Amino acid sequence: MSEPTPPTALDSFWQTSILPVLEDYIRIPNRSPAFDPDWKAQGHMDRAIRLVRDWCQTELQDLATVEILERDGATPLLWVETQAHPTLVDRPPVLLYGHLDKQPEFEGWRPGLGPWTPVLQGERLYGRGGADDGYAIFTIVAALRQLQAGGVPRPRLLTLIECSEESGSPDLAAYLDGLSDRLGVPGLIVCLDAECGNYEQLWYTTSLRGNLIAELHAETLTQGVHSGTAGGIVPSSFQVLRNLLDRIEDSRNGRIRLEAFHVTIPSDREAEIRQAARTLKHLVWERFPFAGTTSPRSTDPEEALLENTWAPALEITGAEGLPSIRIGGNVLRPYTTLKLSFRLPPTLEVSRAVFALEEAMAAPAPFQAPLKLNVISAMPGWNAPATAPWLKKSLESSSRRHFGQTALAMGTGGSIPFMKMLADRYPQAQYFVTGVLGPESNAHGPNEFLHLPTAIRLTACLQELLMAYAGGSR
């Protein structure tokens, strides 16, 4: 272990130039289109992207071309392009990625905190979108400025910041098609929208789970009736759905019963998980805010990580037909609708999962109750190609220099649809997928925060990675 090198110039730039604008960005409630259908009329997304564009133009000046791209009916996209040094014009470009759209507010923010109120407490900047994923463009620009200040020849750098990632990136494919000539064939793709196992070392993501979202609806009446009068005669729609969920998931342990949802885990990913488990130990589950005496599903760090990154899982993320406790009367409700969110193993074909789910729901529901399954979206996961020796060496050396610890690879339980989209287009590229979402950072939930020292050190590591790529390591 070595002492991390404090990136003093970067620290100053983050504190004086980045932090005030990042706080302004947090104040903008630019929810992703899936959560704000009137996003265009609201104008928040346009405010956010113009804020970031103006800052990029100020900080980069003649170093790069900065523009907002737009398509009819689609969210905007920020494009930042720097030309290659004359000695590197034949080097494939580097594509860097982040997003600006945000998850909705959610409940449970601590007193003094709120989704649209930036609050700096010690090393943590609280507020929605700071860590997921507003910091990304600032990290990229800061690294680019450091390269320029050091006189380091740069390959062609292409930065793409989208505004619909939290909705599954529905607008991105069309933008990629339109940018194909400008993109060329990237040799290195950097994504700054993932997790980190802790804040003590550099982490890079080698797999992401897919996501299948569906609505399951059951009804037993055409209108609500007195629960005492009908109870015992009319079946409950909630009872019907409980039975249907039993077809999908074992409620005793959370295992998905549909075998089509499972895959064989590659041996190299198992080896990475073993190493990560040895490092993180109890932090694998202690990073989450368990209530009372609640325990994790497994207290074996390796098993927990395997389940989190390569096993399918189900969460009920929404419901309709259930009144609040305050107004819930003695009524046998006519229907219940549940929103199902499945996380899928990285290498699973999503069509296989959709077919298995539809087949499981094809049999008649209990009591012949009308049943409706509506698949909202199905997004594939991603499994990285083998990490090239030069890339692994760069990540290892920069992690030791700036974090004082070795770099570690690990899968991520979340989804980034963009990655599979890119992998299909650029199968020969190398990938560096990383992020700042570490313990308690709580993206999507209350009290989301950006751990500033990690963001600054990650900026330094990104700078050195681009230097390694420019230096001929491929």
Task: Give the DSSP letter of residue 131.
Answer: I
pLDDT averaged over the chain? 95
**Has residue 472 got a pLDDT over 90?**
no
Residue 473: pLDDT band with limits 50, 70, 90: low
Q: What average pLDDT score do residues 26-54 get?
A: 97
Look up tokens 């259930």; give the residue: 322
Residue 195 in contact with residue 325, Cβ under 8 Å?
no
Q: Per the structure block, which two tokens stand in for 62?
A: 């003649």
Q: What is the pLDDT of residue 471?
A: 86
Residue 125 in contact with residue 452, Cβ under 8 Å?
yes
Q: Tell me: the pLDDT tens digits for 389-420?
A: 999 999 999 999 999 999 999 999 999 888 99
Q: What is the pLDDT of residue 8?
A: 80
Q: Per the structure block, which two tokens stand in for 84?
A: 């290659």
Show the domains of the chain with their CATH numbers: 8-208+381-470 (3.40.630.10), 211-262+311-377 (3.30.70.360), 266-304 (no CATH)
Residue 352: pLDDT band with limits 50, 70, 90: very high
Q: Tell me: the pLDDT tens digits for 421-439?
A: 899 999 999 999 999 999 9
Residue 168: pLDDT band with limits 50, 70, 90: confident
Share of the chain above pLDDT 90, in %: 95
Q: φ and ψ at 255, to 5 degrees?
A: -70, 135
Q: Tell me: the pLDDT tens digits for 71-128?
A: 999 999 999 999 999 999 999 999 999 999 999 999 999 999 999 999 999 999 999 9
Q: What average pLDDT score do residues 66-71 get?
A: 98
CA atoms of 32 and 36, how far apart (whole Å):
6
Share of the chain above pLDDT 70, in %: 98
330: Cα within 13 Å, side-chain hemisphere: 6
SS3 state at 262? coil
Q: Tell me: the pLDDT tens digits for 278-299?
A: 999 999 999 999 999 999 999 9
